[in-house]
Amino acid sequence: MSIRRYIFKDIVEKIATEKYRKNGLGITFEDIGREFSVSKTKAQRKLKYFHERDILFTAKDLILEGITVLKNTSPQQYFLTCVKAEIIEDLVKRNNVLVNPTGVDLLAPPSSTKSASTTNDFDIGIQTLEGYVLPLLPQAPIFLHNFHFKIGIDPECYLDLNLPYYDKNNGKHHSENIGTSHVDYVLYPVGTVDTHVTCSNNPFKLETEIDRSRIIAFFGQVRDRLIILLRDERERIVPEIMDWQITECDINRDIKLSHLLHFSAIKIQVKYPDHLFRIYIKSMGKETVCRVEESLHPKKSALEAINDIFNPMEKVERQIAVLTTKISAIYDIVSKLSMTTGCES
């Protein structure tokens, strides 16, 4: 009685990754057959199964999208969908292929009168920005990423830590992976911990109370890792989150695009005294998006900054209340001066 062999998704993904990195090719039924000792028919059936579930893609899939960086082969090659954008970019660079779509439906505005043969990548990008991205922007969800915190601790902790030095100011560096985020802690002799959270590919959504709770819970995880690093079992060294200062964060909205737009090289940056705006095409592995991003420098309590972003009207209301108070005070002063002047006359 033969032993039934199961082909698992993670193993297939590993085989596909290793083969592409080694020689730039996709996997075939032959790779599956050798790895799992199964028949040609069963290996082909398994590859088709993963293809139907969008785990793998083929050259034919790209051709249907208007991308001709791959050719159909025999036997059929399959590539990982989760890194589709990166594979396309790599193939374009490797083969020196000019990506120029042959259709006019590539998210360009209907009013475009340029022919497909004369439209270059930059024109396509601008058309897409004006005709597709900007109209959808108000409905796109808000995300946050690239958090920078300044945390104060006892300077003596610096001396007790045996960590590698950072590249400047005698900082000592430690990093952690928390979920899909990467966190860097840099501790300085003066008792400051600069904490940087990198999560550009997996930003935090901020639209509902649940989203806000998740962000605050994540901040708690960042604090817990620092507590463990400093062996602060009684939690007397690491301050509470409300005492952290957030010095920088990025707020973004993403609009999904065709992978073709990954090569349009759109990159716009506008700088104001307190704000920095960016628009660029970003690969998100399985998807390509146009990211509209603003860099903020709150320099205030982390929780206060999150609340301001989450509920901007509350911030405006507070500013109006302060302004109203000032106006009332000025009015009282003017009234008293008027009364005094009237009495003197």
Average pLDDT, integer, range 176-200 = 94
Q: Average pLDDT over the chain, rounded to whole?
A: 79
How high is the pLDDT of residue 2? 42
Q: CA separation (Å) from 53 to 14, 30, 65, 308?
A: 17, 21, 18, 41
Tens digits of per-residue pLDDT, 249-277?
999 999 887 766 655 556 777 776 666 88
Helix (H) or strand (E) segment spanning residue 184: strand 181-187
Strand partners, 187: 172, 193
Supply angle C-alpha 233, 215, 174, rounded to 5: 50
Q: Is the pTM of this model over 0.85?
A: no
pLDDT-wise least confident of 40-49, 318-327, 331-340: 318-327
How high is the pLDDT of residue 172? 93
DSSP string, 65-86: TT--SS---SSPPBEEGGGHHH
Tens digits of per-residue pLDDT, 111-134?
344 444 334 555 655 666 766 777
**pLDDT, greater one: 311 or 320:** 311
Domains and CATH numbers, the chain: 9-95 (1.10.10.10), 139-310 (no CATH)
Question: Is the Cβ–Cβ distance between 129 and 242 less than 8 Å?
Answer: no
How far apart CA 55 and CA 29 sit, in angstroms, is 15
Average pLDDT, integer, range 236-247 = 92
- Greatest mean pLDDT among 9-18, 91-100, 333-342: 9-18
How far apart CA 165 and CA 188 sit, in angstroms, is 10
